[in-house]
Amino acid sequence: MLTFRQDFIRFAIRCGVLRFGEFQTKAGRLSPYFFNSGLFSDGAALRELCQFYAQAILASNVEFDMLFGPAYKGIPLVAGTSIALAEQGCNVPYCFDRKEPKDHGEGGSTVGAKLRGRVMIIDDVISAGTSVRESIGLIRAAGAMPCGAVIALDRMERGQGALSAVQEVRQNYNLPVVSIATLDDLLGYLRDRTEMVQNLKAVQAYRDRYGVNND
């Protein structure tokens, strides 16, 4: 496991973003853990979060020319990640979309740099894949090429079929999806902590019941 993955799990728990208990998912399942990236809600937390995004991107070795953040959650993420990458010597342009295209001033449906070349999509999670699908359409319509997507946590949980939302994106769009951490990384973290043995048992049981096979 790459060191930053364990560090990210620890960071998410410390910020209260990753919690343990009993939580109902959108699919109606009772999950023993809950991840809410919206709780990275102050400057220090956002700065550290985006440093993890930058590390994951650079470790992936996926070639890219710029970053794109889908509104709304992707907006602070793409701006912060571009800063974190620049601090590591990788200065690239970024942009994000508007929910409602602007017909005055500079106009258009995006803000920031013009979409061009190989575009990396920055988002928090992939649930139904809607945000990524819309981003891919917007990028291609501008004559650019989506080259990958980066998310914070891959729950590795199947949807209605045998595949997870992340696997469906990979399969349907032939697009690499990079995650800072996965459910298996979380299990690895829990195995090293005897005080969290009950959480480990609950998360492992959930993984056994709803999880997908590794790619």
Q: Give the span between the Cα atoms of 199 and 20, in whole angstroms.
A: 7
| Half-sphere exposure in the Cβ direction for 121 (13 Å, CA) | 32
Q: Residue 156 in contact with residue 212, Cβ under 8 Å?
A: yes
Two tokens, residue 170 = 């990979």
In angstroms, the CA 102 to CA 96 distance is 13
Closest of 198, 179, 157 to residue 52, by C-alpha: 179
> Which residues are catalytically annotated?
102, 104
Question: Are 114 and 67 within 8 A, CB to CB?
Answer: no
Taking the C-alpha atoms of residue 140 and residue 137, their distance in angstroms, rounded to an integer, is: 5
